[in-house]
Amino acid sequence: MTSEEVIIAVIDALEAVDLRFMVVGSVATNFYGIPRSTRDADFVIQAAPPLAALVEHLGTNLRLSAQASFEGVTGTLRHRIEARGTPFTVELFELSDDAHDVSRFSRRRRVSLFGRHVFVATAEDTVVTKLRWAMQPGREKDVDDVRSVIAVQGDGLDWAYVKEWCSQHGTSALLEKIRKSVES
Amino acid sequence: MKPSTALIGQIFAEKVARAREMSHEDKFFEGPRLFDSAMQVMAAGIRDRYPDLDEQAVHRMLRTYLDRLDRLERRG
C-alpha cells in the first residue's frame, strides 16, 4: 500500500464505525505550511474506538496494535495502525480532557478531499499544539513546522486565539522568537 | 561553502510561494508521497548492497534504518 492509500483506508474505516475524528500532526502542518516528508499520520478520535468493528473495517492490509500506549503531553491513549508493505504508520489519539485538546476538536475544520469530508485541526490549533510539543526535548522539527505554517498563512491566522493558548501553555516566548524569524 | 543568509531567505520564500499555490489535496498528501519516494530510494540502496536479500528482509532492514534515524533525530 502507498501511504496515501493507508490514510484514505483509515479515514473510511473511522467513518464506517461512526467515530468522529480530526487530522492533526505533520499531515495537518503540511496542509497549512510547507509540506515535508512524514512517516506517520496522526488522528484525534472523539472516543475510545470500537476495536472489533474498527479492525474489521481496516481490512487485512492494516493492523491495529493490540495494546494502546500513553502519549506524553496530555496523557491520553494512543492506538497504532501499521500497514502491510510500508513502514508508514497511523496513530489514533483519544480525545483527552485537556482544555486545548477539547477546544481544537470543537474548532476542527471540514474540508472536501478525494471525494470525502475530512476534518482537520485548524491552522491556529496546529501552531498552538506544535509549540507545546516543541518544549519537549528533541523536537526541533516542531519549531520548523510552526515557522512554515506562520510563513504560509501570513496574516490569515487568528493571533488573539493563538496568543491566549500560548500564554496558558508557557510558549509565548518561543512563539515570538519564531514570528520574528519569519519576519526577518 | 556555507550559503548566505540572503540565499537561505530566498529559498524559504520560494518554498512559501509554492506552498500557497498547491491544491488542498496535494498539500494533504505531499508529506506521505515524499516519504514513499524516500523509501523507494532507500530500499533500492539496500537491494544494491545486499542483492541476496528477499523483499521481506529488505523491508525489515528498512524499518531498522528508520528506527535508527528516529533515535538520532530525537537525540538532536
CATH number assigned to the domain comprising residue A80: 3.30.460.40
**Does position A21 have pLDDT exceeding 70, yes or no?**
yes
**pLDDT score recorded for residue B73:** 75
Cα(B76)–Cα(A76) distance, integer angstroms: 26
> Model confidence at A45, in pLDDT bands (50, 70, 90)?
very high
Minimal Cβ distance to B25: which of A26, A37, A113: A113
Q: Give how many domains chain A has, as a whole number.
A: 1
**Contact residues, A window 7-26, toward B, CB-based 8 Å cutoff:** 7, 26
Q: Does A36 touch chain B (CB under 8 A)?
A: yes
**Residues B36, A86: C-beta atoms closer than 8 Å:** yes
Q: Which of A14-18, A133-137, A139-143 has the highest mean pLDDT?
A: A14-18
Domain that holds residue A87: 3-183
Q: Mind telling me how many Å the CA of B3 is from chain A's nearest CA?
A: 17
**pLDDT score recorded for residue A183:** 81
**Residues B28, A2: C-beta atoms closer than 8 Å:** no
**Residues B74, A138: C-beta atoms closer than 8 Å:** yes
Cell 498539500 maps to which residue?
A: B27
Q: Which of B5, B27, B65, B73 is the mutation pick for testing A, counting most A CBs within 10 A?
A: B27
Torsion sign over Cα B37, B15, A35, B63: positive
**Contact residues, B window 3-62, toward A, CB-based 8 Å cutoff:** 12, 15-16, 18-20, 22, 24-25, 27-36, 38-39, 59, 62
**Does position A40 have pLDDT exceeding 90, yes or no?**
yes
Angle, helix A123-134 to helix A99-106, in steps of 10 degrees: 160
Q: Higher confidence at residue A105 or residue A67?
A: A105
**Does position B75 have pLDDT exceeding 70, yes or no?**
no
Closest CA to A43 of A61, A56, A58, A33: A58
In contact, A23 and A111? CB cutoff 8 Å: no
What does the pLDDT look like over B9-35, one tens digit per residue?
Answer: 889 999 999 999 999 999 999 999 999
In contact, A126 and A32? CB cutoff 8 Å: yes
Q: Mind telling me how many Å the CA of B25 is from chain A's nearest CA?
A: 6
- Report percent pLDDT > 70 for chain A: 100
Region A54-72: mean pLDDT is 89
In contact, B53 and B46? CB cutoff 8 Å: yes
Measured between CA atoms, the residue of chain B closest to residue A23 is B28
**Does position A134 have pLDDT exceeding 70, yes or no?**
yes
Strands (E), chain A: 21-24, 40-45, 62-64, 69-70, 77-83, 86-94, 109-113, 116-120
> Model confidence at A132, in pLDDT bands (50, 70, 90)?
very high
**Residues B31, A86: C-beta atoms closer than 8 Å:** no
**pLDDT score recorded for residue A12:** 96
Model pTM score: 0.91
Q: Does A34 touch chain B (CB under 8 A)?
A: yes
Cell 483519544 maps to which residue?
A: A94
Cell 520560494 maps to which residue?
A: B14
Q: Mind telling me how many Å the CA of A163 is from chain B's nearest CA?
A: 23
Minimal Cβ distance to B27: which of A31, A138, A141: A31
> Model confidence at B8, in pLDDT bands (50, 70, 90)?
confident
> Model confidence at B1, in pLDDT bands (50, 70, 90)?
low
What does the pLDDT look like over B45-59, one tens digit per residue?
Answer: 999 999 999 999 999
- Give whole-number Cα distances, B75 to A142, A169, B19, B42, B70, in Å: 14, 24, 30, 22, 9
